[in-house]
Structure 1
């Protein structure tokens, strides 16, 4: 059982109970990572998904009290043209006003997507994923007016915008890179005219298609529009969350051909908490709440290790009633039912909360981190390198506090899909130019913190050695104690 005592704006106690197996750690237990409220964190790498409210597949009011205690300030919302304009030329913003006003009042920062189509217009596209973009002259004119009205209404509360969602999906003539590029261009011009300081995310690529992305970038570059965007978003659901790292780097390399400064943003990703076909991506695996928590935190920390903003899909289970998904999509950090009411937080809620509490922008990534198996290594004075006592595939990323330079290392086994057990390997690590005074070990999945005894670590000049550290397929941290909120 993992208990979380944290307060939101109403000082409500949030308790996470889990029957999932916990990691066995042979070190003295110190305590738990203390949650940090989202409005206590200036900025971080994280975004939490609050999608599908535009299609009434989720209920914002059912889960809003869980947002601030999670520790993530930026929330992803979908604007919903069809929900807002049910009669031509008449906008009903009441539903979206309520959500954005409430979120902003809690110190949250909406990232608002302009989508989907609107079937009240001939050639207006559909209101669900993959249903098609607007393409007729009448519909595109209406789209422009809707975009202008939305940006004008929310420009004082929303800085971050996104254009469409996974436009490359769908069996329609409007899912080509040429057409999606055209929609992106006409829409960003409207946004920037009304709100010049707006930050706009483009493409929103559903699964990584390198040829599609290359064509999209090439068109925007040729028309001198690519520089208008703040970032390019992609989604990529893979069973092993570390398996797409190379593909993401290839996508980034293609983007750099056209704009060396433009960043990637991982805009939507998550894993289910149970098995089931028809529940959306990644259904063909025996997921549990444990493997979901491992997947989400590995994906978050892998994105962080590659300097990519990371969005978690999603805050609560999604009760689809139309579109390609027909069953409850159980990728939420909160368990919900078919009536969209929250039942309880899952283990992944706690695990994501732990990542959010520790990793904000007071830390910087150690970019000169390398591994070697040699016993004697000639090292530059400023280099940071590590050795490991295994040839098994591990992921290791290093971070240091921007001011005091004390360090945190994230470690996990990346060889396979996250398992539903906790098989541990006791491994040794040596960090050259390590900076530790009182190191601790953190199990990210539960948030439990353990003292690393003196017999398990020592310093030899500029090398810090750690012995018999339990490592598994969920992230653990070797961290300076002062960087962990206990």
Structure 2
């Protein structure tokens, strides 16, 4: 990168400046009060993301049978909407008023109200009241969280059982708001059998979206998974669309939760975010959500009365935190490098853009007097294109090497034809915009350009043609 001339930075855009976007962020765990949202709202809005996933918090809302205390949730939803953010609500978790086991679990996590008629009726009333209250403000409602994991379906995951729960919850959602959209799945495991069992109950007919969670090291794994999900859903309801509801990783090596115990750093976290969110765009999901806004305790396996069991600190946030003795996130909520990376992606991939085939291809490896090794080539490098309605285009590329063990830098050479001549190279990680020196581009004057020995990294770089930014 040192041969390039930096000419600017990708402009940060507030969510209020963006009309539509496929980029989202998790704002979960306020059902358990694990951070102070007032300190986070403006910082989230400055990211330029649009979709914000929150949890409904049945146990926090209904503490006396039939009495709903909405004020805490009203405040969250109103604050998000005021900043031009779009909340979507995950309906969860249990409630000890109706499900005794929920009283033993921190946050009533993983205790679905399905065992008795009393539980089922109470859940129905609560869901209908919630969707009725937020009609016109919240459109998407998700049925539970990660029901295919034993941490969120503690008596043991069962696709058929969850499918029946989806159907019943969808009926309650639409009783409260007939215009609401139902999101189901929130699946995190690779198990088409579970998903098929769920859809076969008739749940597919009740759904508008399938959501999945993507916690795996290789971002390219999601391609076959999403395509398999789409194909299976189409057997039951061709109208079902796909949402990536959670993906993320730690910014340090001692965190709890998914992909824990890896040698994670703030820079590796930012690379993971960039590679995974852009790979979601390749699959044209309705939107992709990074988990999460904040460092927080994971709190999925905690037991009431055993504080040590739920003080399991996770460092997935794009905002850092300190913690008090109860595990509540404190401090200044300072942005990490991943915050800037998400801000760059949200700024670039907004509104009028689409995945596109571009007249761009790899040049065969060739040695140069200016380099000491051959360029990388072809199938060892990710290369995909996008277009915008203003005629601009962009090719994004990176080396999908192992983030935890490799800090990869190399070069590639590309050939492009019939694309706009205003060309820039953007580092997605920090938003730096570069001008290519003359020795890196060879224009034949008839529409073709050769790009010699462009930098290649293990995080996405964006070669833009025209006013793509």
Residue 149 of structure 1 and its aligned partner are, at CA, apart by: 0.9
1:208–1:235 Cα contact (<8 Å) kept: no
Q: Give the aligned partner of residue 126 of structure 2.
A: 146
Residue 176 of structure 1 and its aligned partner are, at CA, apart by: 0.8
SS of the residue 2:239 aligns to: coil
Q: Give the aligned partner of residue 372 of structure 2.
A: none
Residue 479 of structure 1 and its aligned partner are, at CA, apart by: 0.7
Residue 128 of structure 1 and its aligned partner are, at CA, apart by: 4.2
SS of the residue 2:320 aligns to: strand
- What are the Cα deviations for residues 372-399 of structure 1, in whole angstroms up to 9, with x where unaligned? 7789xxxxxxxxxxxx851452111101
Quote the Cα distance in structure 1 between the aligned partners of 2:238 and 2:357.
18
Residue 356 of structure 1 and its aligned partner are, at CA, apart by: 0.3
Residue 124 of structure 1 and its aligned partner are, at CA, apart by: 7.0
One of 442, 460, 466 as aligned partner of 1:458: 442
Q: Give the aligned partner of residue 7 of structure 1.
A: none
- What are the Cα deviations for residues 33-66 of structure 1, in whole angstroms up to 9, with x where unaligned? 1101111111111111000100112221121120
One of 297, 300, 305 as aligned partner of 1:319: 297
The question of 1:477 aligning with 2:462 is answered yes
2:321–2:334 Cα contact (<8 Å) kept: yes
Question: Does the C-alpha gap of structure 1 residues 163 and 218 become closer, same or farther in structure 2, counting only changes over 3 Å?
Answer: same
2:360–2:415 Cα contact (<8 Å) kept: no
- What are the Cα deviations for residues 162-194 of structure 1, in whole angstroms up to 9, with x where unaligned? 111111122644631111111111111122233
SS of the residue 1:398 aligns to: strand
The question of 1:274 aligning with 2:252 is answered yes
One of 385, 397, 404 as aligned partner of 1:411: 397
- What are the Cα deviations for residues 2-48 of structure 1, in whole angstroms up to 9, with x where unaligned? xxxxxxxxxxxxxxxxxxxxxx4421110111101111111111111
- What are the Cα deviations for residues 444-476 of structure 1, in whole angstroms up to 9, with x where unaligned? 111111001233223454543211110111110
Quote the Cα distance in structure 2 between the aligned partners of 1:143 and 1:131.
12
Q: TM-score, normalised by structure 2?
A: 0.88
Q: Give the aligned partner of residue 258 of structure 1.
A: 236
Question: Does the C-alpha gap of structure 1 residues 306 and 196 become closer, same or farther in structure 2, counting only changes over 3 Å?
Answer: same
1:174–1:180 Cα contact (<8 Å) kept: no
Quote the Cα distance in structure 2 between the aligned partners of 1:359 and 1:314.
19
Quote the Cα distance in structure 2 between the aligned partners of 1:369 and 1:128.
53
Residue 199 of structure 1 and its aligned partner are, at CA, apart by: 2.1
Quote the Cα distance in structure 2 between the aligned partners of 1:367 and 1:214.
33
Q: Give the aligned partner of residue 371 of structure 2.
A: none
Q: How does 1:67-82 map to 2 (within 5 A)?
A: 67-82=44-59
Question: Does the C-alpha gap of structure 1 residues 191 and 406 become closer, same or farther in structure 2, counting only changes over 3 Å?
Answer: same
Quote the Cα distance in structure 2 between the aligned partners of 1:115 and 1:266.
18
2:185–2:212 Cα contact (<8 Å) kept: yes
Quote the Cα distance in structure 2 between the aligned partners of 1:187 and 1:346.
38
One of 379, 393, 397 as aligned partner of 2:380: 393
The question of 1:66 aligning with 2:50 is answered no
Residue 136 of structure 1 and its aligned partner are, at CA, apart by: 1.4
2:101–2:111 Cα contact (<8 Å) kept: no
Quote the Cα distance in structure 2 between the aligned partners of 1:425 and 1:107.
41
Q: How does 1:422-433 map to 2 (within 5 A)?
A: 423-433=408-418
Quote the Cα distance in structure 2 between the aligned partners of 1:226 and 1:322.
28
Q: Give the aligned partner of residue 439 of structure 1.
A: 423
Q: Give the aligned partner of residue 383 of structure 1.
A: none
Q: How does 1:41-440 map to 2 (within 5 A)?
A: 41-122=18-99, 125=102, 127-170=107-150, 172-173=154-155, 175-220=157-202, 225-276=203-254, 279-308=256-285, 309-320=287-298, 323-324=301-302, 326-339=311-324, 340-341=329-330, 342-367=332-357, 390-391=377-378, 393-402=380-389, 404-417=390-403, 421=407, 423-433=408-418, 435-440=419-424
2:426–2:433 Cα contact (<8 Å) kept: yes
Residue 283 of structure 1 and its aligned partner are, at CA, apart by: 0.8
- What are the Cα deviations for residues 49-96 of structure 1, in whole angstroms up to 9, with x where unaligned? 000100112221121120111001211000000111111111111111
Q: Give the aligned partner of residue 448 of structure 1.
A: 432
1:363–1:399 Cα contact (<8 Å) kept: yes
Deviates more, 1:228-237 or 1:361-370: 361-370
Residue 480 of structure 1 and its aligned partner are, at CA, apart by: 2.6
Quote the Cα distance in structure 2 between the aligned partners of 1:166 and 1:34.
36
Q: Give the aligned partner of residue 453 of structure 2.
A: 468
Question: Does the C-alpha gap of structure 1 residues 347 and 128 become closer, same or farther in structure 2, counting only changes over 3 Å?
Answer: farther
Quote the Cα distance in structure 2 between the aligned partners of 1:315 and 1:445.
17
1:413–1:471 Cα contact (<8 Å) kept: yes
SS of the residue 1:483 aligns to: coil
- What are the Cα deviations for residues 267-320 of structure 1, in whole angstroms up to 9, with x where unaligned? 01111000125x111112100000000001111100001101210000111134
Q: Give the aligned partner of residue 6 of structure 1.
A: none
